[in-house]
Amino acid sequence: MGSPDGETQEWPDPLDALAAAPEFHSLVFENEDLRVLETRIGPGQSVPVHTHRWPSVLYILSTAHFVRRDEAGDVLTDTRAGDALPEPGTGFWTGPMAPHSVENVGSSEIRMLNIELKRA
């Protein structure tokens, strides 16, 4: 997913999730320590290439099968191929996420909270 060490990564600002994919990411809360985004991806929708520069906790509200690709379009994760599909109500830690896109290939909305730790 992201950097295993949890260090902040510096990617160009236009690739930040809120700048590159604002129709899929909304700001819930932000201060100097953290930023909380809500992500919503409808069935059949594709999120353009974007990044998450800080380590974070992802909390799954609803899920569907998805394909995550790197910026070159190579598949990183395809939950239909046996990669784990996170269950609603679960949370997990991830490091910063390099440029990637996400395609919802399922029949329901993907919805999650991304709690980004700006000062880990």
Max Cα separation, the chain?
39
pLDDT value of residue 82: 87
User: pLDDT, tens digit, for every residue of 18-35?
Assistant: 999 999 999 999 999 999
Between 98 and 3, residue with greater pLDDT: 98
What pairs with residue 51 in β-bridges? 16
> What is the residue extent of each domain of the chain?
13-117
End-to-end CA distance of the chain: 18
φ/ψ region of 74 (left if φ > 0, alpha if ψ in -120 to 50, else beta) reads beta
Closest CA to 63 of 26, 102, 27, 95: 102
User: pLDDT, tens digit, for every residue of 76-96?
Assistant: 999 999 878 889 999 999 999
pTM given for the model: 0.90
List, edge to edge, every strand of the sheet that includes 97-104. Answer: 46-52, 97-104, 66-70, 75-78
Place domain 13-117 in its CATH homologous superfamily: Jelly Rolls (2.60.120.10)
At 111 the three-state DSSP class reads strand
Distance CA 26, CA 119 (A): 20
